Amino acid sequence: MKALATRRRSRFAPTALLLLALLITGGLYAALAPSTATATASVATASDVELGMKLFQANCATCHGMNAQGSEGVPSLIGVGAAAVDFQVSTGRMPMQANGPQAPAKTPQFNEEQTAQLAAYVASLGAGPAIPTDEEIDGSQGDVANGMALFRTNCAMCHNAVGAGGALSGGKYAPALWDTSARNIYQAMLTGPQSMPVFNDNVLTAEEKRDVISYVEAQRSGSPGGADLGAIGPVSEGLWVWVVGMGLLLGCAVWIGAKSS
Amino acid sequence: MNQQNPAKGHPSQDLAAPDGQAGVPTHFTDPGHPEHQPRQSDLHPAANKRAERQVVLLFAVSVLGTIGFLVAYFAVPPGETVASMRQSNLLLGLGLFLGMFGIGAAVVHWAKSLMNSEEKAEDRHTLRSSDETRAAAVEMLREGAQDSAIGRRGVLKGAMVSALLLAPLTVVVPLVGNVGEDWDVSKFKSTMWRKGMKLTIDPSGRPIKASDLTIGSVFHVIPEGLEDTEHPLDEKAKAVVLLIRLDPRDLTEAEDRKGWSYDGIVAYSKICTHVGCPVALYEQQTHHLLCPCHQSTFDVADGAKVLFGPAKRPLPQLPIEVDDEGYLIAQSDFTEPVGPSFWERLK
């Protein structure tokens, strides 16, 4: 005990104590905190709707109105369905951080449980598209070739032939699809968020939507030819050829022509 | 300035030849080669040895690259997956690059640092041949012309000229024929759309009911029976249509086109009136339709009139209606030629 008492005055003691305290707090939190990762797409209960309404009134009602009726320049959410809410909130697009031509994807503000509650509340306001099932969004069951034909006709003009995204007018853009989850791809087709048109089940049936997901996912393993430079076409490829490629050729020509010292 | 300060002298006076006028010399003399500068490898045996080792190293890089290529060819086959193909291509390419570049760099370095660096000049000889050669050539031509009697045998001369003039036609006629192939431009004035023809989904060919469209949805449309035509791609290139449902309150319609839409559903040609790209980037909030090629922007809510870009005319509208079963059908063909302008467009 005496040895401990003398070390108490060491100049490292406060740091050591602080680290110990942090470790204990973190360990206890990890052990006791409720796990949020296990939230499942269970059937919405009345309490979900109730909690969702509270979340909505605290976070969304400023723009969308106390009863989600919308206002000038802000869409009504009655009848948009759970799929639209899940897409917008789980990708962080809503709540919007600032006014602009487009609401960008960002770190989501709500966890899965809160998102599900918000979706349950909005779904209770009017009938709309529901969140797709795991079966519907399983790209491994889709037909990649048919997905390509559909993607080429319906999606490629904005999202690029392999889903690398592209520009629209007035600062708007079609986002890249490299990291978009299958569920979000499906929901975007179903609900037509922001500038995107709606691809309801009559335009693209549920199976066709799954084919599109297969195609998008198949593009993520890259190009067999080598580096695709972002797959955005002549800008990155031209930069590479003109600056790096021709720069190397010029360097070689100068070296060959220069006198040896 | 110089004239006001004669003490400084005129700079060009130094260069002027004695008989030059206004300070311009009559000729410049050849300055010759710059003085020869010996290289490090000429002066120091150690530097010479080092340059030699560098050349050997570059050849060794080439040898290693070639061996690497052969190893990669047998050991890393392209396989079936994208990742394995990419790996195979990368290794083969690197091996090929090192194998070839090593040789080139080694040879150039060898020549530059080890071979002698004395400057040499090789003067051009005069272009004019000697007088004897020129006289002999003229004599040969004269003898040839006299021998062939081209001046007297008129029929022979005519036959030769005819053959020479006609022979190029074997090249020219197929060339012009292939370029034109079909000079009938009237087919650009109409498409395969007819009264009562169903609007179907591209590419599946499913017919579309008016009730299938929710507000903000877009259908890429081909005419019914497109695949049964003789040249489906030629027909598709003219007949593709974009079908959009708007809130009828957002829609502005010209008086003579009131009957062309159905409950907010409008159909417009997908072929840009600028140079014919498929106009398909539809922003459902602004009702703007963008062409991906040159950013022409059309307002779908107002007769597809041009808002921006190089297109000069609105997209042609396809008049549509609904049949007894609720399917969308065309009322007629487009009332004007689709796509870019051409001379005979409105004749």
Contacts of residue A149 in chain B, CB cutoff 8 Å?
Answer: 203
Q: How far apart are CA A198 and CA A260, in angstroms?
A: 67
Chain B contact present for A158, CB below 8 A? yes
- The CA distance from A149 to A163, in Å, is 14
Q: What does the pLDDT look like over A108-159, one tens digit per residue?
A: 999 999 999 999 999 999 888 889 999 899 989 999 999 999 999 999 989 9
- Out of A170, A203, A256, the one facing B219 most closely (by C-beta) is A203
Which of A21-25, A77-81, B317-321 is most confident? B317-321
Q: What is the pLDDT of residue B5?
A: 43
Contacts of B245-249 spanning 24+ positions with Cβ under 8 A:
B245/B213, B245/B214, B245/B215, B245/B216, B245/B217, B246/B215, B246/B216, B246/B287, B246/B300, B246/B301, B247/B215
Task: Note whether B77 contacts A: Cβ–Cβ < 8 A.
Answer: no
Does the beta carbon of B216 lie under 8 angstroms from any beta carbon of chain A?
Answer: yes
Share of chain A above pLDDT 90, in %: 46
- Across the interface, of A150, A194, A224, the residue whose CB is closest to B86 is A224
Q: Which residues contact B41 (CB under 8 A, 6 or more apart)?
A: A260, B47, B48, B50, B51, B113, B114
Contact list, B202 vs chain A (CB under 8 Å) = 153
pLDDT of residue A5: 60
Count of C-beta atoms within a 10 Å radius of residue A43: 7
Q: In chain A, what residues touch B83 (CB-CB under 8 Å)?
A: 221-222
Q: What is the pLDDT of residues B292-318, one digit of tens each?
A: 889 999 999 999 999 999 999 999 999
For B55-113, the DSSP string reads: HHHHHHHHHHHHHHHHHHHHHS---SSHHHHHHHHHHHHHHHHHHHHHHHHHHHHHHHH
What residue spans in chain A does CATH classification 1.10.760.10 cover? 46-123, 139-221
Q: Residue B49: is its pLDDT beyond 90?
A: yes
User: For the structural domain made of A139-221, what CATH number should be given?
Assistant: 1.10.760.10
- Mean pLDDT throughout A188-204? 90
C-beta separation of B319 from B259 below 8 A = yes
Could you tell me what percent of chain B has a pLDDT over 70?
Answer: 93
Higher pLDDT, residue B16 or A235:
A235
Instruction: Tell me how far apart the alpha carbons of residues B303 and B252 are, in angstroms, rounded to a whole number.
Output: 7
pLDDT digits (tens, 9 = 90+) for B132-151: 999 999 999 999 988 888 77
Q: What angle do CA A205, A210, A214 make, to 5 degrees?
A: 145
B244 near A CB under 8 A: yes
Interface ipTM: 0.70
**Annotation: CATH topology of A46-123:** Cytochrome Bc1 Complex; Chain D, domain 2 (1.10.760)
pTM of the model: 0.72
Lowest mean pLDDT among A15-19, A204-208, B11-15, B116-120: B11-15
- The pLDDT, as a whole number, for residue B187 is 84
Q: What is the DSSP string of B222-255?
A: EETTGGGSSSHHHHHHHH-EEEEE--GGG----G
Contact indicator for B12, B23 with CB cutoff of 8 Å: yes
Is the CB of B290 less than 8 angstroms away from the CB of A168?
Answer: yes
Looking at per-residue pLDDT, the higher value among B71 and A40 belongs to B71
| Span B16-23, average pLDDT | 57
What was the pLDDT predicted at B13? Answer: 46
